[in-house]
Structures are given as structure tokens and as C-alpha cells.
Amino acid sequence: MPSELFAYADAQMVDAILRNLLSNALKFTPANGAITISAESDGTMTAVSVADTGIGIPETMLRDVFRVDVKISRKGTAGETGTGLGLVLCKEFIEQNNGTLNVTSHVGEGTTFTFTLPLSQ
């Protein structure tokens, strides 16, 4: 992996995206779990992944996590609450920067959110 990766995006939006994804990973990963951040580039897009070994997202909830018209909110491993809007905003911010946001998850094993951003305008 290169020591530096770049993307063409609004820095404040990317900061908000990363804070939200990391906050969720911390909220839903038990104390003995792990969170991994990785990034790579294919020459046109930079992909950033936030993976955790947390509780995972059930399949029935997974299809709706980015929908504004469906309220999804769960308590974290320490009873933390949320509004259920963070992932909706992340998707909106990423799309405003010409990127994509995807999720894979397995209950009891963890979740990985991956977003892409272009390298240039």
C-alpha cells in the first residue's frame, strides 16, 4: 500500500464520513474487538474501508441502512443510542463527491463499510 493516497473531495465532508463510520464501529464493537482502517487506489478512485469485529447488522436491516425513509437505530454494545441518520448522511456526502458507499456485514462477525472517491475532478 502506498504511504500516501489522494482523492478529490470536500475535506470537511470526508472528515464527517470518517468520524461517523469510526464512531459506529466503536459503538458496535465489544471491548475485545478490533477496528481496521484501510485504503487503496486503482488509479481512478481511492477506496477507504472501515472494518470491525462487532455485532454485525442483520440482513433485514442491512438493505435499509442508507434509506432516509426508514428509521434504523440500535443500541450499541454499551447501551449507546443514535439517531439512525449518520449512514444516510454519509451516503449523501459521498455521492455529492462523486463516490459510492457499500456495506458488507455478518451478524456476530462484524461489518465493513467501504467508500470510494475519485482521484480527480
Q: pLDDT tens-digit profile of 79-101?
A: 666 666 789 999 999 999 999 99
**Closest-CA residue to 85 (of 105, 57, 64):** 64
Please check the confidence at residue 1 and state whether its pLDDT lies above 60: no
Please check the confidence at residue 103 and state whether its pLDDT lies above 90: yes
Range 57-62, long-range pairs (CB < 8 A, 24+ positions) = 57/103, 57/105, 57/107, 57/111, 58/107, 59/107, 62/103, 62/105
The pLDDT of residue 64 is 87
For cell 443514535, what's the residue? 82
Domains in the chain: boundaries: 11-118
The pLDDT of residue 44 is 93
The pLDDT of residue 38 is 96
CA 28 to CA 84: how far, in whole Å?
13
11-118, CATH topology level? Heat Shock Protein 90 (3.30.565)
- All three cell numbers of 17, joined, read 464520513
Mean pLDDT value across residues 62-75 = 78
In one letter, which amino acid is 111?
A: T
Q: pLDDT tens-digit profile of 23-67?
A: 999 999 999 999 999 999 998 999 999 999 999 989 988 888 888
The pLDDT of residue 109 is 95
Q: For residue 6, what pLDDT band results from cuts at 50, 70 and 90? A: confident
Radius of gyration of the chain (CA): 14
Q: How many residues does the chain have?
A: 121
